[in-house]
A and B are shown apart, each in its own frame.
Chain A
Amino acid sequence: MRADVVQLALMAGGLTYLWRYLPLRISLGDMPQDGILSRFLAATGPAAIATLFVAEMLPLLHGTQAAQGREGVGVLAVILAFAWRKSVVFATLAGACACGVAAALGLS
């Protein structure tokens, strides 16, 4: 096994476990909702995910028109599926399926 893969898995897995477990031990739910730490933690997740989504989509600007078309179909499907079922898994699968169907129909 590659050392960098093991190191990354242990670091990401270890910290993710701490994020999930430590709040159960230190009553994080009791902290003031408008406190600095609370607002920082609340903003970090959305900021990180928005960052990652934008970082994933940026290379598409340099892709072919067909690729941009099918990815646009996928984005639309995710939004509509989430609005319908409010499920991350369902919306993700719907987006991937829509993108695959768009590719099969010629947007590839």
Chain B
Amino acid sequence: MSQEKSPLLAGVQAVIPLVLGYFPIAFSFGVAATRTGLSPIEAFSLSLIVFAGAAQFLAIALLASGAPVLVAGLTLAAMNLRHVLYGPTLLQRAGVHRATRLGWLWAFALTDEVFGAALGALAKGQRFSEGFMMILGFGAYAAWLAGTVAGAWAGGGALDAWPSVGAGLDFMLPALFLALLLSILSARQVPAIVIAAAATVLGTWFGSATLGLFAGMIAGAVAGLFGRKGASHAG
């Protein structure tokens, strides 16, 4: 049986798990950013403007490697291209309650987890409203900014005395990529994923890390064009 709550209450309830999860990851980002030479204000600016966890971790890695800004920017944009599907999916689920008057605002905070939490709430009977989306998105955004500030303030050397914690935080980025990959995995996308992985390995081994990134993304995306039609429900 579905239970409809007020947008405020439903938003607060839905955002609590996101806040608890986002804060430590953002803390890790703040530490990692300052460890690679960014100032606290630069780390904070990335969180303030971009608000996309995995992309931000990759941004500091690309900045540290000296990758050209254009290459780095396009890599991050390609990585986040999956976000184009989130808004339409939510509006489709919203049915007669779909609304986009404030879409220009809440769309800013439509991250993977905000999308997932919103979708979960709608599936449980919560009525779509822009107020609900605002609370959910900007509650998560506040936690992300707070975590970044705390991590950047603690500084890159904050974990020198705790190498185990440092090892865990160092693994945060591959863990995040793997979890994201699992979350969008379907049988239809397996060829694109396998080809992307193979092209990344070959590009990296026979060229450079930057070539590997480009080769993987382009080969995988092109492979999607030749995938089987009508197999979207598999997996």
Cross-chain contact B175 with A15 (CB below 8 angstroms): no
Tell me, rounded to whole Å, the shortest Cβ–Cβ distance linking A28 to chain B.
5
Cross-chain contact A74 with B174 (CB below 8 angstroms): yes
Within residues 57 to 110 of chain B, which ones have a CB less than 8 A from any CB in chain A?
Answer: 58-59, 62-63, 69-70, 72-73, 75-89, 91-92, 100, 103-104, 107-108, 110
**Interface extent on B, as a size class?**
35 or more
Cross-chain contact A5 with B42 (CB below 8 angstroms): yes
Tell me, rounded to whole Å, the shortest Cβ–Cβ distance linking B84 to chain A.
5
16 other A-B residue contacts (CB within 8 Å) besides A42-B85, A75-B178: A1-B41, A11-B76, A13-B50, A20-B110, A29-B87, A41-B84, A41-B85, A42-B188, A46-B220, A56-B174, A78-B175, A82-B179, A87-B113, A88-B113, A96-B175, A99-B170
22 contacts between A and B (CB under 8 A): A11-B73, A12-B59, A13-B51, A16-B55, A17-B108, A19-B81, A20-B110, A23-B86, A25-B100, A29-B89, A29-B92, A39-B224, A39-B227, A45-B85, A47-B223, A50-B216, A54-B197, A75-B174, A78-B175, A93-B25, A101-B164, A101-B168
Q: Could you list which residues of chain B lie within 8 angstroms of chain A, going by C-beta atoms?
A: 17-18, 21-22, 24-25, 28, 38-39, 41-42, 45-46, 49-52, 54-55, 58-59, 62-63, 69-70, 72-73, 75-89, 91-92, 100, 103-104, 107-108, 110, 112-113, 116, 163-165, 167-185, 188-189, 192-193, 195-197, 199-201, 204, 209, 212-213, 216-217, 219-221, 223-225, 227, 229-230, 232
